């Protein structure tokens, strides 16, 4: 079965499910988009890797990446290989001593690993046919795809929260919330600045 290469083109709050996020994958050689609803923790795990942030302590996906690398296991690719009852299934395709090993994975975890290893993401035509969104007009579709890629960085920062902002940005935000007398938010921002400057 022919694999279709995908890119992560957007990561933002889910329109359909509150408290959840949507990661939108786009086919590299076309205009179809594959939106996948994921949880907040999983969205943060993807966002942190996309923004090249280094947490104080390794996140679970960072730990798994370090473990694979320690044992000379390479993550070759991620394949979203099935869709059953609205749930996406994925596999990590790994290489160890020249032998290919497949590991079953939640799709959100597989995408978090793909971003960390900078490996390709694939799916199959039947999944795009069943759950893909087709952008009708090619020119509009390309413009939309470009716009989505541009907005991803801002979306990633909103997913990560305060950790997604530089100290300078936090200080500007602090001034803004203090002028609006939002002392609860100001305390959160101040704590984040203190945490960073104490390191």
0.95 exceeded by pTM? no
What's the confidence (pLDDT) of residue 198? 73
Q: CA 129, 50, 12 angle in degrees (round to 5)?
A: 55
What's the confidence (pLDDT) of residue 141? 45
Domain that residue 153 falls in? 3-161
> Residues near 152 by Cβ (< 8 Å), separated by ≥ 6?
8, 9, 10, 11, 50
Q: CA 52, 58, 62 angle in degrees (round to 5)?
A: 65
179 and 133 share a domain?
A: no
Residue with tokens 């993807």: 46
106 and 177 share a domain?
A: no
CB 123 within 8 A of CB 25: yes
DSSP 8-state class, residue 86 = T
From CA 170, how far away is CA 149, in angstroms rounded?
Answer: 24
28 and 89 share a domain?
A: yes
178 and 113 share a domain?
A: no
Instruction: For the chain, list residues with pLDDT below 50.
Output: 137-142, 144-157, 159-160
What's the confidence (pLDDT) of residue 146? 47
> Residues near 67 by Cβ (< 8 Å), separated by ≥ 6?
none
153 and 71 share a domain?
A: yes
174 and 148 share a domain?
A: no
Strands 3-13 and 99-106, by their bridges, are: unpaired
Total number of domains in the chain: 2
- CATH number, domain of 37, equals 3.10.690.10
CB 10 within 8 A of CB 29: no
**Dihedral pair phi/psi, residue 88, rounded to 5°:** -85, 145
Q: How far is CA 123 from the centre of its chain?
A: 16
Kindly report the three-state secondary structure assignment for every residue of 19-31: CCEEEEEEECCCC
82 and 61 share a domain?
A: yes
In the chain, where does DSSP find H-type helix? 40-50, 60-70, 107-117, 125-131, 138-160, 167-179, 183-197
């Amino acid at each position: 079965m022919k694999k279709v290469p995908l890119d992560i083109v957007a990561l933002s709050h889910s329109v359909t499910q509150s408290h959840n996020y949507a990661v939108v994958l786009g086919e590299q050689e076309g205009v179809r988009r594959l939106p996948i609803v994921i949880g907040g923790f999983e969205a943060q795990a993807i966002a942190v890797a996309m923004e090249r942030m280094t947490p104080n302590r390794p996140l679970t996906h960072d730990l798994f990446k370090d473990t694979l690398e320690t044992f000379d296991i390479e993550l070759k690719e991620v394949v979203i290989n099935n869709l059953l009852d609205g749930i996406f299934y994925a596999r990590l395709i790994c290489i160890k001593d020249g032998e290919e090993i497949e590991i079953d994975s939640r799709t959100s975890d597989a995408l978090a690993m793909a971003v960390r290893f900078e490996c390709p993401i694939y799916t199959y035509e039947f999944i795009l046919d069943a759950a893909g969104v087709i952008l009708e007009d090619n020119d509009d579709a390309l413009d939309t795809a470009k716009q989505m890629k541009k907005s991803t960085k801002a979306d990633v920062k909103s997913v990560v929260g305060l950790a997604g902002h530089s100290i300078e940005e936090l200080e500007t935000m602090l001034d803004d919330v203090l002028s609006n007398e939002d002392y609860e938010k100001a305390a959160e921002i101040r704590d984040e600045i203190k945490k960073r400057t104490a390191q």
